[in-house]
Chain A
Amino acid sequence: MVQRTKDVEVLKEIARKVRIDLLNALHRAKSGHTGGSLSSVEILVTLYFSELRHDPKNPRWEDRDRFVLSKGHGVPALYSVLAHAGYFSRQELITLRKPGSRLQGHPEYDLDIGIEASTGSLGHGLSAANGMALAAKMDGKNIRVYALLSDGELQEGATWEAITTSYYRKLDNLCAIVDRNRFQNDGAMAEIKDIEPVPDKWRAFGWEAEVLDGHDIAGLISAFEKARQTKGKPFVIVANTTKGKGVSIFENKGHYHGVAPNDDEIKIALNELLKDEESGLRLEKLAGKELRLELDKLFGVSTI
């Protein structure tokens, strides 16, 4: 079992390191979803370091809680969290999106690295989570199942089929989280196909809903607690987040939905996230091989 904590300062520090590593991995991959990875960081860190009963050294433990990343495009954040939790080494993050890597562009079912379901196509994950929650109930097991959805995913009709199933089957061992960052691939959701009012829609479908700031770790901890106490119906946390959270140049910029940081952007991003003692050199003065060497150091690898 992973040691869980409710210490917000400890979790905040993990979130900072998770951001650094996911951005470094995206920069190295030269492609991937920056905005929606950064918006999910506090949700994922709170889940993996405070809420879920799981064991990175025994990823096939039958009684573990399950997590399904229905918004599969946000997987750089999950890989970074899983590495920090001890499922695999941080060095492996450098293989993101490479042929043969376990860290594919969208998650592939692989219990060894803690990936519980293949996702990436929106509108699948909550159904899969329902199946897991139904199986746990059938077996009389005290397993909880969590699914993280994007808000854009609420435009998928199949998501609402699944939402109906969770309610009808009274899946109180299921907790959904909506990463409400208000952007989708083509831009601001309000300008494309708005889905408000989000919590009211879930409530109308029979769910218990809680709205909170998705970057407020203390709030997330207590919402997960509330979800566990709720009986007879499923629970959704509508987490209002900032797309690109944590890096000034990415925040609320629709452009970075599916774009990875380039050399200039990674320097700005890491200068904002790194503490002085973590980088011996001022990153903005570096370029080419020197920059690569410095970024390698952050991963503890050598690629030159």
Chain B
Amino acid sequence: MSRSQISDFVVDEVTENAYIREAYGKTLVELGKEYPELVVLDADLTVSTKTNLFGKEFPRRFFTMGVSEQDMMATAAGFALAGKIPFASTFAVFATGRAWEHVRQSIAFPNLNVKIVATHAGVTVGEDGATHQALEDVALMRVLPNMTVIVPADAVETEKVIRTLVEHRGPAYVRLARAKFPTIFKKSYEFEIGKARVLREGNDVALFAVGIMVYEALEAAKILERDGISACVVNLSTIKPIDIETVVKWAGITGAVVTVEDHNIIGGLGGAVAEVLGEYCPTPMKRIGMRDRFGTSGDGLKLLEYFGLKAKNIVQAAHEILEFNSEKKSVVI
């Protein structure tokens, strides 16, 4: 496989790991200088979500709402109704679970310009355990009309996403995590809402991934290459509106799809891709992710291994689906 099939946006080798929530906090500070109407709300997790960085720079535009997630979401709606650009942050499980109905009625339904940026999603939360590991947040936000749902893959993409959203009108949910993510993108990476990025082209199997799992998918593609399998890797960071064209194109080329996420496969990326393919391009697929279960305490990154969310698991899924396809073909013949 020639190097030209790998996107120019991807670094040759990962040399850095970075907190994507820190990229969020730093980007807020930068944007705060450019956008006087930007306000930030947080529900007693300002140090963890890194909104405290904004709070230090712009105390008059920073609102600590206390442990009151529902109040925070509807207050953010009030700010939006008054023409401000509110960013509301807390842990993903509270932002999307505790406050879901406030997000539905007061933000999504009136299509208000509120950006919900939640951290500590997925099993990489680690030791805090299942109560704090949001594995259904994408599902909860995805079903809301008007809501845009984005899962950045690294710190570079996180910055681009936040910069893009400040200019975007309408509600959006951004899923961030606690753990350090490998920095897989060069600074030149370009993000566009609703546009999937093909990071590596391949003809045998398509790996659709989000978040930290994009890195694992890229690693899996390298292993598969050694096995003589040409894998395509697509970063589907905008889960909604999903890039139907790109999903259908690469499912059509490969005829074999693996989705990869640190979220319940029900309602998450796996569900979203299955919906698209079921309607537009039925294709055999495997879903790597949390298989309808809660998480557990443990070291955040090691939990990826514990739950079978590593490159080797993707490789295995790719082999299984290719085997399935060949058996199916032989049956047809």
Write the residues of chain A forming the contact surface with B, with a CB cutoff of 8 angstroms.
66, 108-109, 116-121, 123-125, 127-136, 138, 157-158, 161-162, 164-165, 168
Q: List B contacts of A138 (CB < 8 A).
A: 39, 60-61, 84
The answer to whether B65 touches A131 (Cβ under 8 A) is no
Query: Judging by beta carbons under 8 Å apart, are B74 and A118 in contact?
Result: no
Most A Cβ at <10 Å: residue of B39, B77, B78, B101:
B78
Say if the beta carbon of B278 comes within 8 Å of chain A: no
Given contacts A117-B77, A118-B110, A121-B105, contact A135 B71 (CB under 8 A): no
A131 engages B79 (CB within 8 Å): yes
Q: What CA separation (Å) do A164 and B67 show in the bound complex?
A: 11
Q: List 26 A-B contacts (CB under 8 A).
A: A117-B77, A117-B78, A118-B109, A119-B105, A120-B105, A121-B106, A125-B74, A127-B71, A127-B73, A127-B74, A127-B75, A128-B75, A128-B78, A131-B75, A131-B76, A131-B79, A132-B78, A135-B78, A136-B82, A138-B39, A138-B61, A161-B68, A161-B70, A162-B74, A164-B68, A165-B66
Contacts from B to A (Cβ < 8 Å) = 39, 60-61, 63, 65-66, 68, 70-84, 86, 101-102, 105-106, 109-110, 112
Supplied contacts A130-B71, A135-B39, A135-B78, 6 more A-B pairs, CB within 8 Å: A124-B74, A127-B73, A127-B106, A131-B77, A162-B74, A165-B71
For the residues of B in contact with A, the DSSP-based class is helix
Given known contacts A109-B110, A117-B110, A164-B66, A131 and B74 CB-to-CB distance under 8 angstroms? yes
CB proximity of A158 to chain B, nearest CB, Å: 4
Q: Which DSSP category, helix, strand, loop or mixed, fits chain A's interface?
A: helix
Distance in Å: Cβ of B75 to nearest Cβ of chain A = 4
A contact residues around B102 at 8 Å (CB): 124, 127, 158
B78 with A158: CB separation less than 8 A: no
- A129's nearest neighbour on chain B, judged by CB, is B78
Chain A contacts for B84, CB-based, 8 A: 135, 138
Which residues of B sit under 8 angstroms from A125, Cβ to Cβ? 74
Contact of B82 among A118, A119, A135, A158 (CB under 8 A): A135
- Report how far A87 CA is from B82 CA in the complex, Å: 20
Which of chain A's residues have a CB closer than 8 A to the CB of B73? Answer: 127
Residue pair B74, A132 in contact (C-beta under 8 Å): no
Query: Number of residue pairs across A and B with beta carbons under 8 Å?
Result: 100
- The residue on A at minimum CB distance from B64 is A168
Residues of A contacting B63 with CB < 8 Å? Answer: 134
Q: Is the Cβ of B105 less than 8 Å from the Cβ of A128? A: no
User: B75 contacts A116, CB within 8 Å?
Assistant: no
User: CA of A281 to CA of B280 in the docked complex: distance in angstroms?
Assistant: 63
Q: B75 near A130 (CB under 8 angstroms)?
A: yes
Instruction: List A contacts of B77 (CB < 8 A).
Output: 117, 124, 127-128, 131
B106 x A165 contact (CB < 8 A)? no
Cβ-defined contact, B71 with A161, below 8 A: yes
**Are B101 and A121 touching (Cβ within 8 A)?**
yes
Q: Which of A134, A157, A161 contacts B78 (CB 8 A)?
A: A134
Contact partners of B72 in chain A: CB under 8 A: 127
Known: A109-B81, A109-B110, A116-B81. A128 touches B74 (CB 8 A): yes
Quote the shortest CB–CB distance from B190 to chain A (angstroms): 33
| Cα(A123)–Cα(B99), bound, Å | 12
**Nearest residue, chain A, Cβ from B60:** A138
Taking the nearest CB of chain B, how far is it from the CB of A124, in angstroms?
Answer: 5
CA gap between A202 and B8 in the complex, in Å: 60
Report the 9 A-B pairs with minimum CB-CB distance, sorted nearest first: A131-B78, A127-B74, A135-B82, A161-B71, A109-B110, A161-B68, A128-B78, A118-B110, A158-B70
Does A131 lie within 8 Å of B81, measured CB to CB?
A: yes
Question: How far in angstroms is the closest Cβ of chain B from A112?
Answer: 14
Contact B71 A128 (CB under 8 A): no
Min Cβ gap B23→A in Å is 27
Taking CB as reference atom, which chain B residue is nearest A145? B78
Contact partners of B106 in chain A: CB under 8 A: 117-118, 121, 124, 127-128
Bound-complex Cα distance A134 to B60 (A): 10
Contacts of B76 in A (CB 8 A): 131
Q: How far is the CA of A46 from the CA of B77 in the complex (A)?
A: 27
Contact of B79 among A119, A135, A165 (CB under 8 A): A135
Whether A134 lies near B79 (C-beta < 8 A) is: yes
The residue on A at minimum CB distance from B41 is A131
Determine which residue in B83, B84, B101, B110 has the highest number of CB atoms from chain A within 10 A of its CB, and name it: B110
Q: Is B60 a contact partner of A132 (Cβ separation < 8 A)?
A: no
CA distance A234 to B75 in the complex (A): 16
Give chain A nearest CB distance to B66 CB in angstroms: 7
Minimum distance in angstroms from A231 CB to a CB of chain B: 20
Closest A residue to B71 by CB, please name it: A161
In Å, the complex CA distance between A108 and B70 comes to 20
Closest Cβ of chain A: how far from B22's Cβ, in Å?
A: 27
Q: Give the distance to chain A from B237, nearest Cβ to Cβ, in Å.
A: 29
- In the bound complex, CA of A161 to CA of B44 (Å): 13
Give the residue name and chain of the A residue nearest to B111 (CB): A109
B123 to chain A, nearest CB (A): 29
How far, in angstroms, from A74 to B81 measured CA to CA in the complex?
21
The answer for the CA separation of A162 and B63 in the assembled complex, in Å, is 13
